[in-house]
Structure 1
């Protein structure tokens, strides 16, 4: 009896570096592949993968953070990356996968370097307009890079690149408005604004929402995903307001219950909103706090008519309230623009594209 071919997935640090991997695991398994995941010990990817796919082999390696700013850890973390490369290399030599697929994040760098050392085909996926630091370092060692935005392809050096477009998890389309309203304890008699700052939360969004909560609640209900450790217990019991640290299984229901969303501008999230035809107000991370990728994402979505944009530097209580008003006024125009957008790839289609680069192809 022959054993199943093996594929290794990697990526982590944020939920956005895991969601595509979560989407393609079921079709890969249906195609007969034995899927293994390489991630960090303490990263969010460990919990997300183990909760979503109990029993799927998850291998921990060491990984240092790659920083664009000065830190004493910049002198020690390269040794962690080196240790991670050795750990990943030993594992890859043992498993002999047909392919390594990376969604990015710090933990992916040692895996990709080890894959190249072991002679295993490596495929990378980049979601943002310009490559992140981890992917930028790893791309020269990849056989192929898939991008979400066509504008990203010219940024890819020393590797073939294809714009494959976004991939949306199919379960997001299975949400129930009634279940979402029930989870949030809302009546459904008024429009619902969903505010989410990503898996780690956003102090800027949290402050803007809470400072204007009485004004917002005059005309709408608010569901607020505020991030781990950022609940405000003094607001418990406020009629029309529901706060959660982070929601996983019920997110599809909350999205279905929402009439509009306020969010950061991470690529995975905004393409999910687009696929769900959910009008959005985007408040991208400022250039001071990031490499500016979210700013580019938000501008492209605004140009396409999918979103209103409020720059983080301009956020005050008043400007936030005004931007929410514009979101409400332009809801129908945004939905019409979204309906003209190209349909996203299915996880099955993306899995097939990835496997074209395996050693058996």
Structure 2
């Protein structure tokens, strides 16, 4: 008889794609896989696209500042707890796995009230507010960064790294260059600003293009951000986003400019690509990407450039330094005692009776 597992996580793709990576590794003959998320969040489309049953619940936004909406959201979260409890009572899962985001709080509270084991994974170096709340209800906690262990109860927390999508490690450099029409004589520079792109990064890279002729460039610029005037430049390929070909493009990549989202930088680490991290500013986020970037820079996996200091000149200077330090970075990455986070999580899930 199949056991049931409920995944939850949402609000951003970063709270969903690791769940999808774990789902890909679970034995469908042993597990009935279900998903609880918000009624209209990005997670709904992503999960329905992989044909996993999806259950939408009421959810509020967890804010760290005073706002009248906080009062309304208390009631939304309370309703979310009732919604989640009703779904969980019907599904009777053996375990709930949470990847974070505000929608997970009512799910985890409801699971605890029904004595359902809860596993959570924290991607960032410092925990988000949802996982800060969730930790008291969790059975086991897993983290990407060793430093994050200090923020959770040590008796139920272990650092395992980030769940990396297996397909990201199976790309072909030759196929990537062929798909892109690149000649292979110059290094490939990939720019990724996240699922929505990054306006300042996009503008700065494009301004610097005349001085980046030593590179062939892949630019994932985000939805609606393609520059029509640059279409046709054979050394500069721009995409709103990439799905199936991404593993091949990354396999062909020599350097990457990226935001500081944990899932992305751990994938680049696994692929041993030297990276220049330009994290979201504190005005745009809680500062988690800055902390992630500083940790990777300190360990020798990356260089960091704060967006406030991003100019055409500083971009070119940092790329030159990245090129100079490429082999040292790769040597450091090669010495890393890499853990198989996906394998560990699947093994822990399979232990559940």
- The bucket for the TM-score relative to the shorter chain is over 0.9
Q: What SS does the corresponding residue of 2:11 show, helix, strand or coil? A: coil
Q: Is the 8 A contact 1:306 1:337 kept in 2?
A: yes
1:136 alignment partner in structure 2: 132
**Is 1:33–2:31 an aligned residue pair?**
yes
Shift of 1:188: 2.7
**Is 1:46–2:44 an aligned residue pair?**
yes
Structure 2 distance, partners of 1:111, 1:159, is 23
1:211 alignment partner in structure 2: 207
Structure 1 residues 69 and 188: CA distance shift in structure 2, 3 A: farther
**Is 1:99–2:95 an aligned residue pair?**
yes
User: 1:291-320 deviations in whole A, cap 9, x for unaligned?
Assistant: 221112111111111111111221111111
Q: Is the 8 A contact 2:7 2:34 kept in 1?
A: yes
Shift of 1:30: 4.7
**Is 1:275–2:276 an aligned residue pair?**
no
Report matched runs for 1:298-309 at 5 Å: 298-309=293-304
**Is 1:226–2:226 an aligned residue pair?**
no
TM-score (norm 1): 0.92
Q: From 98, 107, 110, give the equivalent of 1:111.
A: 107
TM-score (norm 2): 0.94
Structure 2 distance, partners of 1:183, 1:134, is 41
Structure 1 residues 339 and 211: CA distance shift in structure 2, 3 A: same
Q: Is the 8 A contact 2:7 2:35 kept in 1?
A: yes
Q: What SS does the corresponding residue of 2:300 show, helix, strand or coil? A: coil
Structure 2 unaligned segments of length 5 or more: list them. Answer: none
Shift of 1:97: 0.6
Structure 1 distance, partners of 2:278, 2:145, is 19
Report matched runs for 1:126-275 at 5 Å: 126-157=122-153, 160-216=156-212, 218-275=213-270
Shift of 1:288: 2.4
Structure 2 distance, partners of 1:234, 1:67, is 40
2:281 alignment partner in structure 1: 286
Q: Is the 8 A contact 1:145 1:159 kept in 2?
A: no
RMSD between superposed Cα atoms in Å: 1.8
Q: Is the 8 A contact 1:284 1:312 kept in 2?
A: yes
Shift of 1:31: 6.5
Structure 1 distance, partners of 2:182, 2:47, is 31
Q: Is the 8 A contact 1:179 1:253 kept in 2?
A: yes
